[in-house]
Amino acid sequence: MSEVDESAYRGMVAEQNDAQVDTWAADLFIDFAKRLGVGTAIAAFCESTGLDARGFQRAFMVGGGPDHVVGIDTAGSLAAPIFELPKAIAGLRRIDPGARAKLVDFLVRHRVVMSYTA
């Protein structure tokens, strides 16, 4: 994949409606977890959104994720089932008025992880 200019990409993402930003963020979150591991993906999401472990768990649960599936993996990282990760995006939208900007940051910071399939 060729390098995507950060400012151009940020502008393109910022022009999208909230539903599209959320869809792209969910796709990125899942792709990230599949490629680099769930713990790494959650850590990147938390870094971009300013969440700590407790904040991630809260966003995850508020978004509809079951609390009993969030845990710590053998490497000491937060873990949750890959297919449930997008619940944290929905929850972030509900608990943080600045969620959109944070999700845009997540997309822009980790744009090279996103996969494109036909």
* Predicted confidence (pLDDT) per residue in 23-68, tens digit: 999 999 999 999 999 999 999 999 999 999 999 999 999 999 998 9
Q: How many residues does the chain have?
A: 118
Residue 118 clears pLDDT 60, i.e. is over it? no
State which residues form the domain around 62: 6-109
Instruction: Compute the average pLDDT of residues 79-88.
Output: 96
Q: Evaluate if residue 1 carries a pLDDT over 50.
A: no
pTM: 0.89
Is 114 domain-assigned? no
The pLDDT assigned to 56 comes to 97
1 occurs within a structural domain: no
Give burial (CB, 10 Å; 0-12/13-18/19+) of 109.
Answer: middle
In a domain, 50, yes or no: yes
Cα–Cα distance for residue pair 55/92, rounded to 1 Å: 9
**Residues in Cβ contact with 93 at an 8 Å cutoff, skipping those fewer than 6 apart:** 18, 22, 63, 99, 100
pLDDT for 117 equals: 43
Min mean pLDDT across 4-13, 36-45, 103-112 is at: 4-13
At residue 2, does pLDDT exceed 60?
no
**Given a cut of 80, is residue 4 above it in pLDDT?**
no
For residue 116, is it within any domain?
Answer: no
Note whether 40 and 103 are within 8 A (CB): no
Q: Is residue 78 one of the residues assigned to a domain? A: yes
Identify whether 118 is part of a domain: no
- What was the pLDDT predicted at 3? 61
Structural domains of the chain, count = 1
d(CA 48, CA 110) in angstroms, rounded, equals: 9
Q: Tell me, what's the pLDDT at 115?
A: 52
